[in-house]
Amino acid sequence: MRSRSDLTVSEAYKARYPGVGFGLTLITGCKPVTDQQAYDHYKRKLLRKLRKRETLAEITERINIYDSFFQSFGFECPLPKHLKRTVNSGFPQYNLMVDAHFMAEMCAGILVAVTDYDRFDGKLLLAVAKAGEISKGMGQRDFVTKEGEILLRDEKDIVCVLCQGADEKTRVKDETTNVFFYAYAVPGIDSVHLKDGLTVAAETMAGFGGGKIEGIEIY
């Protein structure tokens, strides 16, 4: 399990984003869904809870905070469109890992990444970008950072830029068994919601993919 000794929060991050949290969870030994009927029932139950008026209002409020943060850097936040589609049509269905990621985001109203734990190189650093740093995103797209963006590094690469996305290197694949989720807060988002979302992701992987939850860490 990545623990507090495996992730460092940079001084630049602490200065620019004081009190803004970050969370992670590792679920090991994961497999594809074995009981599809039970899994579908579980998803419907989560969806009913999400669609309740008070719950949806709270989730929408948090997602709007993320949207404003993205816009401050000139980017479009994907969460509002994802929420609208989920409320209207239900959770999308890809594979268990990606599904768990979407359910975590929508049920908690936060931003979550799903990755392959074994593809990271060494320890992690939560940092603030300088202008013009370049990284390879999913699909080999070039991400060029803007000054002040929140990003995550391992010992070799930038593995995620909050407003632009995660990298190709750590992307989950069919053979992924050790699934690593991490969640960003932005100013105005309480870290308790990070734990709520990561709990949904972890319990989904454990309950329907046979994985072992190694812990949930909130920084």
Phi, psi of 194 (to 5 degrees): -65, -45
pLDDT digits (tens, 9 = 90+) for 117-176: 999 999 999 999 999 999 888 877 889 999 999 999 999 999 999 999 999 999 999 999
Do residues 98 and 114 make contact, with C-beta atoms less than 8 angstroms apart? yes
Per-residue pLDDT at 2 exceeds 80:
no
Tokens of 94: 């890809």
Q: Write down the pTM of the prediction.
A: 0.94
Taking Cα atoms as reference points, which of 126, 117, 103, 113 lies closest to residue 197?
103
3-state secondary structure 30-93: CCCCCCHHHHHHHHHHHHHHHHCHHHHHHHHHHHHHHHHHHHHCCCCCCHHHHHHHHHHHCCCC
Per-residue pLDDT at 4 exceeds 80:
no
For residues 106 and 109, what is the distance between their CA atoms, to the nearest angstrom?
5
- The set of residues, in sequence order, having a beta carbon less than 8 Å from that of 110 and lying 6+ positions away, is 62, 66, 104, 183, 184, 185, 189, 193, 194, 196, 197
* Category of 147 on φ-ψ map: left (φ > 0), alpha (ψ -120 to 50) or beta: beta
Per-residue pLDDT at 60 exceeds 90:
yes
- What percent of the chain stands above pLDDT 90? 92
Q: What is the residue-averaged pLDDT of the chain?
A: 95
Separation in Å, CA 100 to CA 46, 92, 93, 139 = 11, 10, 10, 21
Residue burial 69-106, b: 16+ Cβ < 10 Å; e: rest:
bbeebebebebeebbeebeeeebeeeebbebbbbbbbb
Report residue 190's pLDDT band, with 50, 70 and 90 as the boundaries: very high
Task: Quote the pLDDT of residue 136.
Answer: 83
Report residue 34's pLDDT band, with 50, 70 and 90 as the boundaries: confident
For residues 206 and 42, what is the distance between their CA atoms, to the nearest angstrom?
13
- Kindly list the structural domains of the chain, giving each domain's residue range(s) and its CATH number in brackets, ordered by start: 7-218 (3.50.40.10)
Task: Quote the pLDDT of residue 5.
Answer: 53
pLDDT digits (tens, 9 = 90+) for 69-117: 999 999 999 999 999 999 999 999 999 999 999 999 999 999 999 999 9
